[in-house]
Amino acid sequence: MKKPEHVILTSHSNQIYNKKVPLVWGAHTAEKRGPIIASQTPERNAIGSHSGSYAVYRALSVASGQFPRDYRPDLAFTNPTRPIGPFSSWSDPEAIVSIDPWGADITDSFPKQLARGTKIMPTIAITEAQLQIPEVQKAIEDGDLDIDGDIVVNETNVKVCKAAVEPVWYLPGIAKRLAIDEGELRKILFQETGGMFPELVTRPDLKVLLPPIGGLTAYIFGPPEQLSNPDKELTCRVHDECNGSDVFGSDICTCRPYLAYGIIQAIKTAQKGGNGLVVYFRKEGRALGEVTKYLVYNARKRQEGGDSADNYFYRTECVAGVQDARFQELMPDVLVWLGIKRIHNLMSMSDMKFNAMQRSGIEILNRFNIPDHLIPDDAQVEIAAKKAAGYYAGETPAPTSKDLKEVKGRSYDET
Ligand SMILES: [Zn+2]
């Protein structure tokens, strides 16, 4: 029988992870910056683990004997299908703080360390795909989208380049962006994860955390190489996950219709020689989670007077303690990573997203709200409440508080 392994605590620098590999966030080259190493090896220089929340499933695989702990991934043929960057923003330590700009092509960026046997894992993967989306197919059928043979390849398929990005948090930069103290941030991250990462409080020399949360995917229509050219028209939607609507078509919100509309407009701009970009963040239920979201739905529908727009945000706050936990301050990092300086058409009504993009130095020329005919009846509550709260409303005036009382959602007794 195999001898059981000792548990080695991660919190003391003389016990483990003592061969620190230098990491200079914002350095001018990948070589000077150094690789992010969150592998369970002595050469580690980051807190946390790869694959976001899926690290827990990896632990189950190891625990059940299906996966050797010391496995070294064979990364042959996995490098990006299209090059992204590097851009000058990659070497600004404050411009990108929540992803690793050098995380895609590690074989090119860190050949010496890899040759030495350092276990480095990519945190970004870039690939190609063809999408089959019913709303896009309907737009093709209706003659709203042309088949150009290059982007829309036939009646059913659209070509896209997509990048999956895992979060890599440079803690001093995150703290600065959110205007909080780094020590306080580290302490509360430690406490609120039930003490999951002791190094947050015992190893202030380790500045990078790979948090156990979902990442994002960037869907790029048209050549990714020209995203950094501000003269090429860019249509962009940044979308936060809403599984109930995005995948299952729940009609209480506008998520899927707005997403599909954004995709169709993105494709149209790419067909004109520009680019379309749809960024999909795993921030379910305003990053409060789906259980919280359904509790809020129940509270909204069952409250006295039923589901009305004047109580839309209030009910979320009653259940969750906050209205929103998405921290859009960190969202523009992916746009900055792609080299974007100007968005010609922003397919979003969110004032939080708009303000965050502007603060990151991205110029936004036009904003587009969701066309009225795409709003499901039961989602009128959401849209009216958001417009009253300062979301972009286009030409129409924002609703008054009297209007909000009158915008009602379906009750559970109605069919
Ligand atoms: Zn939704």
Ligand 1 centroid – CA 255 distance (Å): 4
> CA–CA separation, 220 vs 213, rounded Å?
23
Please identify which of the residues 186, 237, 286, 326 carries the catalytic annotation.
326
Ligand 1 centroid – CA 186 distance (Å): 31
pLDDT of residue 70: 80
Q: What angle do CA 358, 362, 365 make, to 5 degrees?
A: 85
Ligand 1 centroid – CA 138 distance (Å): 22
User: CA 270: distance to chain centroid?
Assistant: 22
Ligand 1 centroid – CA 253 distance (Å): 5
Q: In this predicted model, what pLDDT tens digit does every residue of 147-178 receive, in sequence order?
A: 999 999 999 999 999 999 999 999 999 999 99
Ligand 1 centroid – CA 81 distance (Å): 32
C-beta of residue 354 within 8 angstroms of C-beta of residue 363: no
**pLDDT over threshold 50, residue 187:** yes
Considering the chain, what is the average pLDDT of its residues?
A: 93
> CA–CA separation, 194 vs 361, rounded Å?
36
pLDDT of residue 17: 66
Ligand 1 centroid – CA 288 distance (Å): 13
C-beta of residue 330 within 8 angstroms of C-beta of residue 97: yes
Mean pLDDT of 71-85: 92
**Residue 47: beta bridge partners?**
209
Ligand 1 centroid – CA 291 distance (Å): 13
Ligand 1 centroid – CA 158 distance (Å): 24
- Does 91 fall in a domain? yes
Q: In this predicted model, what pLDDT tens digit does every residue of 46-64 receive, in sequence order?
A: 999 999 999 999 999 999 9
What single string gives the DSSP state of each residue in 151-179? SB-SSS-EEEEEEEE---EEHHHHHHHTT
Reported as a pLDDT band with limits 50, 70 and 90, residue 392 is confident
Ligand 1 centroid – CA 257 distance (Å): 10
- Does 182 fall in a domain? yes
For 237, phi and psi rounded to 5 degrees? -125, 130
For 347, phi and psi rounded to 5 degrees? -90, 70
**Residue 216: beta bridge partners?**
165, 281
**pLDDT over threshold 70, residue 11:** no
- Does 275 fall in a domain? no
Decide if 324 is catalytic: yes
Ligand 1 centroid – CA 287 distance (Å): 12
C-beta of residue 221 within 8 angstroms of C-beta of residue 136: no
pLDDT of residue 40: 82
93: closest CA among 37, 21, 175? 175
Instruction: Point out the least confidently predicted range of 87-91, 189-193, 304-308, 403-407.
Output: 403-407
Neighbour-count burial for 273-305, b at 16+ CB within 10 Å, e otherwise: ebbbbbbbbbbbbbbbeeebbebbbebbbeeee
User: CA 365: distance to chain centroid?
Assistant: 23
- Does 258 fall in a domain? no
pLDDT of residue 233: 98
pLDDT of residue 388: 86
Reported as a pLDDT band with limits 50, 70 and 90, residue 12 is low
**Residue 125: beta bridge partners?**
164
Please identify which of the residues 246, 310, 324, 333 carries the catalytic annotation.
324
Q: Is 96 helix (H, G, I), strand (E, B) or coil?
A: coil
pLDDT of residue 1: 47
Q: Which amino acid is at 319?
A: V
Decide if 326 is catalytic: yes
Q: In this predicted model, what pLDDT tens digit does every residue of 235-293 receive, in sequence order?
A: 999 999 999 999 999 999 999 999 999 999 999 999 999 999 999 999 999 999 999 99
pLDDT of residue 394: 80
Ligand 1 centroid – CA 250 distance (Å): 8
Q: Pull the structure tokens for residue 144.
A: 């709203």
- Does 183 fall in a domain? yes
What single string gives the DSSP state of each residue in 266-283? HHHHHHTTSEEEEEEE--
Ligand 1 centroid – CA 389 distance (Å): 17
**Percent of the chain residues topping a pLDDT of 90:** 79
Structural domain span for residue 61: 14-122+170-210
> CA–CA separation, 110 vs 296, rounded Å?
47
Q: In this predicted model, what pLDDT tens digit does every residue of 198-242 receive, in sequence order?
A: 999 999 999 999 999 999 999 999 999 999 999 999 999 999 999
pLDDT of residue 5: 67
Ligand 1 centroid – CA 62 distance (Å): 36
- Does 297 fall in a domain? no
Rg of the chain over CA atoms, in angstroms? 23
> CA–CA separation, 101 vs 167, rounded Å?
11
Q: In this predicted model, what pLDDT tens digit does every residue of 323-358 receive, in sequence order?
A: 999 999 999 999 999 999 999 999 999 999 999 999
**Residue 209: beta bridge partners?**
47, 169
> CA–CA separation, 2 vs 159, rounded Å?
51
Q: Which residue has 């709303």 as its token pair?
A: 135
Q: Pull the structure tokens for residue 120.
A: 């480095």
Reported as a pLDDT band with limits 50, 70 and 90, residue 408 is confident
Ligand 1 centroid – CA 117 distance (Å): 45
Mean pLDDT of 378-396: 86
Q: In this predicted model, what pLDDT tens digit does every residue of 14-31 receive, in sequence order?
A: 656 666 789 999 999 999
- Does 151 fall in a domain? no
- Does 44 fall in a domain? yes
Using H for helix, E for strand and C for coil, what is the string for 172-199? HHHHHHCCCCHHHHHHHHHHHCCCCCCH
Please count the structural domains in the chain: 1
